[in-house]
Amino acid sequence: MNYENYYPIHTSLILEKSNPMIWTNKSMEFNTITVWIDSSWYFLINQIFKNEYYYHNTWITEQTAIDNIYNSVFFKKNTRLTLFNVYYSYFSKFRTILISDINKNIPSIDVLFKNCNWLERETSEMYGINFLFKQDTRKLLLDYSKIEHPMLKDFPSEGVKDVFYDILDNQVTYSNNETTEL
């Protein structure tokens, strides 16, 4: 079955009210669609992806963000981050890329997609996004005592402290950085 011109009617009606930008690209596969939505519609669109029959067995496969602190030409000027979610439907072999401009807060969708828990934890840790109503907020990669977001563009590329594991003391040790900038 060719899904090139087929899109479910319920999804189209909801997306029409949210005033999205929808586009496909001839260089992408015919089963890929990209949707740019406002962040206020984020949770509702995810509920549709979970409950719509056409999106039966849909899983979120990727989640990441982009920091737009210096780019305001293409992106909205009052938002700092752009969130990207990639969904794949095993039933229809259809990929949807959902893009949303956000500031720092957005509702968590791990109640809808169980595999999104780790994706949201990583995105929250790296970009400082606050996922509202998220129950598991533990860090995955960074130290619990530090409040840093290394993927933001204003994060310093060279720190003032070096961190290493001292095998003699059996602990993580912080020491002052002794390098000089040229």
Q: Is residue 37 classed exposed, middle or buried when 0-12, 13-18 and 19+ CB atoms within 10 A define those classes?
A: buried
Contact by Cβ (8 Å): 103, 76: no
Closest-CA residue to 5 (of 27, 33, 28):
33
With helix as H, strand as E and coil as C, how does 104-145 read? CEEECCCCCCCCHHHHHHHHHHHHCCEEECCCCCCCCCCCCC
Give the residue, 91 or 17, on which the prediction is more confident.
91
Contact by Cβ (8 Å): 54, 117: no
Instruction: Report residue 109's pLDDT band, with 50, 70 and 90 as the boundaries.
Output: very high
Question: Which of 38-52, 85-99, 121-135, 141-155 has the highest average model confidence (pLDDT)?
Answer: 121-135
Closest-CA residue to 175 (of 157, 165, 162, 164):
162
Q: What is the mean pLDDT of residues 95-106?
A: 87
pLDDT tens digits, 139-159: 888 878 778 888 888 877 766
Question: How far is Cα 34 from Cα 39, in angstroms, rounded to an integer?
Answer: 15
Residues 6+ apart with CB under 8 A from 47: 112
The overall pTM is greater than 0.75: no
pLDDT tens digits, 41-60: 899 888 888 887 777 678 89
Tokens (6 digits) for 179: 């390098």
The pLDDT assigned to 125 comes to 92
Q: Has residue 12 got a pLDDT over 60? A: no
The pLDDT assigned to 1 comes to 40
Domains present along the chain, CATH in parentheses = 9-141 (3.30.460.80)
How far are the Cα atoms of 66, 78, 121, 167, 168 from residue 63, in angstroms, in the given order? 11, 22, 10, 36, 39
